[in-house]
Amino acid sequence: MKIKRERKRSLKTLWKALVVSFKIRSKLSLVVAILGFIMALLPSFTAIILQGLTNSIQKLYFNEDVFNEVVKYFSILICLFFIQQTYQYFQNLTKQYDTRAMNKYIKKKILTLKCEVDYKYIENYDNFKDKVAFAEMEAGKQMASSLQNMVTLLQALITFISVTYLLFIVSPYIVLALIVTSIPAIILSYRQKDETYIKNTKWNNENMLVFYTFYMSCGEYNLQEVRHFGLFDYIKNRWRKLAKAYCNQKNKMTTKHVVHNSIADFIRSAVYIIILFIIAYSIYENPAIGLGVFILVYSLSSRMQEVTANLLTGVVQLYGDIPYMKDFFSLDTLEKDRTDLSASILNDSSIRFSNVSFSYPNSTQKIFEGLNVSIKEGEKIAVVGENGSGKSTFVSLLCGMLKADGGTIEIGGKGIEENTAEIRNSISVVFQDFGHYEDTLRNNITISDKGRNAVDEEIIELTKHINSYDVIAEQPRGLDEQIGTFNKQTKDLSGGQWQKISIARAAYRRNAKIMILDEPTSALDPLAEAQIYRDFSSLTGNKTTILISHRLGITSVVDRILVFKDGRIIEDGNHKQLIKQNGYYAEMYQAQAQWYA
């Protein structure tokens, strides 16, 4: 029963892949594919014409009046040659288009998946990162190859049937011998495909580690450290060691496959020579059957060996690619994020965490256990604590990126899991890892609120209001300046400038009821940071505001401070109250004050 269900699932996967194969093809490619089913009969038809031409030339040699017949067969062969060449030209042309279309489809599929999948997978739930990496590096590539070959296999089947029929008429034993001697290659192909899939799955992490170690020696993000500490030789030697181990494994498998395939090819070639010898001897014994039979068998035997091997090997390979296809299509079954940009905005921005517990995917460690906190509408809250205390996790839960294991999270009295889109549209955020978008300054600011069509004067007024206008003023083309790493006209923005733009992006979202600022001053210099403190009320307005920061200077301008430690809120109050308590917050504040003493 289990085997039957697995076969049914495999057939559904193949059908889905075939539908995708036709869906991504261009109109020209579809026409060429359809014509290919007719062209599949061309080898058999050509062999028949060659047989007729050979017999006519033989008759002509014996002074029979068949010159017109020779010319006819020869003319047909010339026409078939041009038809074949023309078809091959368009076939090769469309193959290039289809390869690009397939690669585009796979890239788009992976990109869409990463943008739409439930955020728990981004945190590597169910080994999502390994699955995506495998899909990009192996499954996608194998699937692309399989999709391109599926139609080719159907065309090869037509060729196989027509060639088999003609050879069967000459001798059934020829057909039997050619098919039987192709079996070793088929068995090897199946085993090699299965072994390759298992090895690729097993070696995926080792392969990624090799690439990672290589780019460690030349990646821009750590090149200064590599040079300063003289780490190049260390990284190079480590890369060589890892690469050698990985390549040895791959080469060992490849060598074994080459040896086995060579033996299978020898068997096929040997029987081909024997068959031709038998036919030649038959003609010698009975010249009446004509040399045309030899030409027919000669051309079709090699063709049958080729098409039998290609067809059956292709079927086996296609069957072996099913696991790759299943892995790829299984990504479609993952839970999707509940995003709806047209969802309404909340009227009430009060926040309540009730007995919330949470642990990250693939981990049993509890980040939160029984977390309870209420935040009033319009209240300004600072969340502080050491690294790993749960501050950023608190933000991710509040934005609906992560889902609590237990308890409830409500905004405006609405559960966040049932109203994710509505709640997310009501929140504006400056994330700790904010985006650097290769686009104009204008678009980098306005993408947070696509429904708002602000004129340039409004954007400039906004940035002046929150002290980010200096970034725009320094650019030769102002808001039209193309910014980013790939901008060739001017240098990229500094980290502090990018952070100012991210703050402007959050402020631009006009209808947001809640603003979350996760380390909004981490890349700013002290003067710019102090200005953010002064502009805090202008930036946040009457929004409910949650500020996460390691720097405690800003805590003096908020209404209330939540002190996180080990996933718990250990202190709750305003700056003066917590200093007076002389607890954990006071200890952190005094330690930081010494930096500036």
What is d(CA 444, CA 395) in angstroms, rounded to the nearest whole number? 22
Q: Tokens standing for 243?
A: 């690469």
Contacts of 197 (CB under 8 A, 6+ apart): 320, 323, 324
- Determine contact, residues 509/492, Cβ cutoff 8 Å: no
What is d(CA 301, CA 50) in angstroms, rounded to the nearest whole number? 14
What is d(CA 37, CA 155) in angstroms, rounded to the nearest whole number? 5
The percent of residues in the chain predicted with pLDDT above 70, rounded, is 86
CATH class of the structural domain 351-596: alpha beta
Q: Tokens standing for 142?
A: 């194998």
pLDDT digits over 362-399, tens only?
777 888 999 999 999 999 999 998 888 888 889 889 98
| For the ranges 13-17, 21-25, 419-423, 566-570, the one whose mean pLDDT is highest | 566-570
What is d(CA 593, CA 597) in angstroms, rounded to the nearest whole number? 6
Contacts 24+ apart (CB under 8 A), 94-102: 94/25, 94/26, 94/28, 94/29, 94/32, 94/33, 95/148, 97/26, 97/28, 97/29, 98/24, 98/25, 98/26, 98/29, 98/148, 99/144, 99/148, 101/24, 101/25, 101/26, 102/24, 102/144, 102/147, 102/148
Task: Name the CATH superfamily, with its identifier, for domain 2-333.
Answer: ABC transporter type 1, transmembrane domain (1.20.1560.10)
- Determine contact, residues 424/454, Cβ cutoff 8 Å: no
**pLDDT grade for 109, boundaries at 50, 70 and 90:** confident
Mean pLDDT, to the nearest integer, of 411-423?
Answer: 87
pLDDT digits over 320-336, tens only?
778 878 888 888 888 88
| For the ranges 48-57, 201-210, 329-338, 404-413, the one whose mean pLDDT is highest | 404-413
Mean pLDDT, to the nearest integer, of 34-59?
Answer: 88
pLDDT digits over 282-319, tens only?
777 777 677 788 888 888 887 887 787 778 777 777 77
Neighbour-count burial of 411, counting CB atoms closer than 10 A to its CB (0-12 exposed, 13-18 middle, 19+ buried): buried
Q: Which residue has the higher pLDDT, 582 or 243?
A: 582
2-333 and 351-596 in the same fold = no
Closest to 373 in 3D by CA, of 357, 392, 353: 353
Closest to 506 in 3D by CA, of 547, 554, 476, 470: 547
Mean pLDDT, to the nearest integer, of 112-137?
Answer: 81
DSSP state of 411: E
What is d(CA 295, CA 51) in angstroms, rounded to the nearest whole number? 6
- Domain extents in the chain: 2-333, 351-596
Average pLDDT, the chain: 81
